[in-house]
Amino acid sequence: MTKSDVTRRGVLKSGAFAGAGVALPTIFTASSAAAYTNEPTGGSVTLGFNVPQTGPYADEGNDELLAQQLAVEHLNGEGDSGCLNTFTSKALKGNGILGKKVEFVTGDTQTKSDAARASAKSMIEKDGAIMINGGSSSGVAIAVQGLCQEAGVIFMAGLTHSNDTTGKDKKANGFRHFFNGYMSGAALAPVLEKEYGKERRAYHLTADYTWGWTQQESIAAATEAVGWETVNNVLTPLASTDFSSYIAPVLNSGADVLVLNHYGGNMVNSLTNAIQFGLLDKVVNNKDFKIVVPLYSELMAAGAGENIKGVFGSMNWNWQLQDEGTKAFVKSFGEKYGKPPSNSAQTCYAQTLLYADACERAGTFNPCGVAEALEGFEFDGLGNGPTLYRADDHQCFKDVLVVKGAENPTNAYDTLEIVEKTPRAQVEYAPDHPMFAGGDLGSCNPGA
């Protein structure tokens, strides 16, 4: 072995070294004059847009980014002002937020909680972002929401559909405009009952992670309430690309409806497999076999192509709505980018405007003031009809769309048609509903 020559002098020297090393950090204790994290002091304020730019949801992330850039333009008084004209709150003047010019930084979540937190942290710590917005997955949304709570900035969630985001993982600094699994179930069940009858036997295929479980639970509960029977629920690994082995047992189970609790590429693949097996041509229990996809997005619809014809699902918003807010948003988005926005783009656009408006009404960027302004806020004119930001769990309550795959699409964007606008009253629930219980909002954290 090596010769170890421990001398008195050596020990003293190393001890002094180590001591100095340990003592070093203690001189750097927090001392900050700012009242809250990243208080904007100059003539501008920085927003952080954290969206998936690589990975499975990159297309949605890029669509979100386009909408966020549009929102910044509108806030700064450039372009045609979009929804600022239709928004019921008139606090925004098109001169930035509280007179400060709006700037933004972007980050890539990669649809991974770790990477999303890293990019959000870098925007907060390096670029001085005062608010984080965006994202296209519930896991990421919950992870970033937790980070924003700790760091003391506001999180305006993007596309996140899990009940947990405003359920057991809710945070005082986090706000969600998007709808959730429970609302999908509450909106879909009556339509499914009307279309397919009361006596149906449903077979669930569910993506094996948090979002899949909460959505499956919600849909099963809602359909059982109208008389359906849940035959089986099979969890599929997230990485699956071929679902044939999961589809075959469906035929022998005596089920006559297949519910696909899948999203993104998973859903495109599982639906394609189901169509290839000819499920839709089968007659079981003297009823035509049906498929339901509870959460739809334009991107998935485009990916699944022909296969989604007549398949029911739900959405937060669709560009084909005819209210003033939607028309204004679709017009400015379309003029700038040459295509209609997706529902993930719309939720990010609305969230950015809602944040800016809350700052104006609160008269400060302090997260606690902003949160107070958002809590219990009633508004309209952003495309979803009259909406309430509930104070108890920071969830938006608004109408939910039930859609189905268009039978005769007229163009590339006309893939889904709106079947029903489920009124807000029908999708509301108590803040302590069992599916949302267990969390604690805590108190708002202004950071520094």
Partner 1 sequence: MFGLDKKDTSLLIVVALLTLLAPFILNPFPSDSAMAQFNAGYPDLMQRFVIFGIFAVGFNILFGLTGYLSFGHAAFLGVGSYSAVWMFKLLSYNIIPAVVLAVIIAGLFSLLIGFISLRRSGIYFSILTLAFAQMSFALAYSVLSNPKFNLTNGETGLQVYADDPQWLHGANMPDVPHLFGLSMRSTYTLELGPWAFDFNTGYYICAIVMMVAFYLAIRIFRSPFGMMLRAVKSNQQRMNYTGLNTRPYTLAAFVISGMYAGLAGGLMAAMDPLAGAERMQWTASGEVVLMTILGGAGTLIGPVLGAGFIKYFENIFSKINDNVLHGWFAFLPDGLEDFVVTIIHPFVGKGWHLTLGLLFMMVVIFLPGGLVEGGQRLAAWVRSKRNKGQDDETTGKTEPAE
What is the contact mask toward partner 1 in residues 75 to 104, using x (rule: CB under 8 A)? -----------------------------x
286 binds partner 1 (CB under 8 A): no
Asked if 145 and 172 touch (Cβ cutoff 8 Å), the reply is no
Distance CA 298, CA 444 (A): 35
Span from 118-126, 295-303, 306-314, 345-353 in contact with partner 1 (CB under 8 A): 118-126
Distance CA 275, CA 269 (A): 10
233 three-state secondary structure: strand
Span from 19-27, 254-262, 286-294, 351-359 in contact with partner 1 (CB under 8 A): 19-27
Q: Which is nearer to partner 1, 237 or 338 (CB)?
A: 237
Q: What is the residue whose two structure tokens read 């993506």?
A: 207
The residues pairing with 376 across neighbouring beta strands, listed in sequence order, are: none
Q: Give the H/E segment covering residue 155.
A: strand 154-157
Choose among 351, 354, 359: nearest CA to 97.
Answer: 359
Helices 138-151 and 210-225: angle between axes, nearest 10 degrees: 110
Tokens of residue 39, six digits: 């208080």
Span from 173-181, 195-203, 395-403, 434-442 in contact with partner 1 (CB under 8 A): 434-442
14 binds partner 1 (CB under 8 A): yes
245 binds partner 1 (CB under 8 A): no
Q: Which is nearer to partner 1, 114 or 378 (CB)?
A: 114
CB of 338 to partner 1, least distance (A): 17
Q: Which is nearer to partner 1, 53 or 261 (CB)?
A: 53
DSSP state of 86: T
Would you tell me how many other CB atoms lie within 10 Å of the CB of residue 281? 9
Would you tell me how many other CB atoms lie within 10 Å of the CB of residue 106? 18
Residues within window 24-83 making contact with partner 1, judged by CB under 8 A: 24-32, 53-54, 58, 69
Q: Which is nearer to partner 1, 67 or 308 (CB)?
A: 67
Residues within window 146-185 making contact with partner 1, judged by CB under 8 A: 146-147, 150, 164, 169
**C-alpha pair distances (Å), 344 with each of 136, 167, 408:** 8, 20, 24
Task: Give the footprint of partner 1 on this chain (CB under 8 A).
Answer: 1-2, 4-5, 10, 13-14, 21-22, 24-32, 53-54, 58, 69, 104-108, 112-115, 117-119, 121-123, 125-127, 137-139, 142-143, 146-147, 150, 164, 169, 208-211, 213, 235, 237-239, 438-440, 442
